Amino acid sequence: MTYSVSSPAMRSLLEARTAKVWLHLLTIKHNDGTVLNRFVNNTEDITSRGNVYTRFAFRPQIPAEVDGQMPKIEIVIDNVGQELTASIESMSRPPIILLEVILADTPDVVERGPFRFKLRSVSYNQLTIRSELSYEELTAEPYPYRRFTPTDFPGLFNAVDR
C-alpha cells in the first residue's frame, strides 16, 4: 500500500536524525457528529485548522496489517487524573474516533488520516484507559444495497420488444 506525505515529512522520514516532531490528533465524536473532545499527544495544546486540541497523554499502538482481517488499533490513554472515566461510563452508544497524524511545525497539514474508527471495547483502571478501535465492518453488509424486485423497479421487468 502506498501513502503520500508532504515533502518535509518525507525528508524527516528518510533522515537518520530529524528535528521534526510527529503528533497524533484524536477527535472523539458522538454519532450525531457533535465533537466531545479533541486531544493531541503533546506537552502543549495545538491549534490545527482552527480547532484547538488539548494536550493529553495517549499512545496509539498500531499493529501490523494482516490480509483478510479488518485493521484494528489500540489507544492507551493515561488516566491518572481520571477525567475521562465518568464520560466513558455515561456513554450509551459507542463514539466515533478520528485519528490524524501531523508535524508539530505544520499543524494545519494532515500527513495521514483522518482515520475513522468505531470504539469496540474499553477497559480502564486507576492509571490507564485501553480502547480497541476498528473500522466499520463493511464486509458483513449485503451487496447490492437493495434488491431489484418488480415492485421497487418495475421498469427493469417490463417486456422489451425484440
| pLDDT at position 108 | 96
Record the pTM.
0.76
| pLDDT at position 161 | 60
Q: What is the mean pLDDT of residues 78-93?
A: 75
| Nearest Cα residue to 122 out of 87, 70, 146 | 87
| pLDDT at position 23 | 95
Question: How many angstroms separate the Cα of 28 from the Cα of each of 34, 67, 97, 99, 118?
Answer: 9, 28, 5, 9, 10
CA-based end-to-end distance of the chain: 48
Instruction: Tell me: pLDDT of 138 over 70.
Output: no
What sign results for the dihedral spanned by CA atoms 7, 13, 15, 17?
A: positive
The torsion defined by the Cα of 64, 97, 86 and 58, in degrees rounded to 10, comes to 50
Could you tell me which residues come within 8 angstroms of residue 62 by beta carbon, excluding any fewer than 6 positions away? 73
| pLDDT at position 162 | 56
pLDDT one-digit tens code per residue, 31-82: 788 888 899 999 999 999 999 999 988 988 876 777 777 777 888 888 767 6
Q: What is the mean pLDDT of residues 117-131?
A: 86
| pLDDT at position 40 | 95
| pLDDT at position 147 | 76
Tell me the sheet residues that pair with 112.
101
Reduce the DSSP state of residue 61 to 3 states and report it.
Answer: strand
User: pLDDT band for position 137 (50/70/90)?
Assistant: low
| pLDDT at position 133 | 86
Strands across the sheet containing 106-124: 46-48, 51-55, 35-40, 22-29, 96-103, 106-124, 128-134, 72-78, 58-61
| pLDDT at position 22 | 94
Q: What is the DSSP annotation of 23-52?
A: EEEEEEE-TTS-EEEEEESSSS-EEETTEE
Question: Quick one: cell of 134?
Answer: 476498528
Instruction: Tell me: pLDDT of 27 over 80.
Output: yes
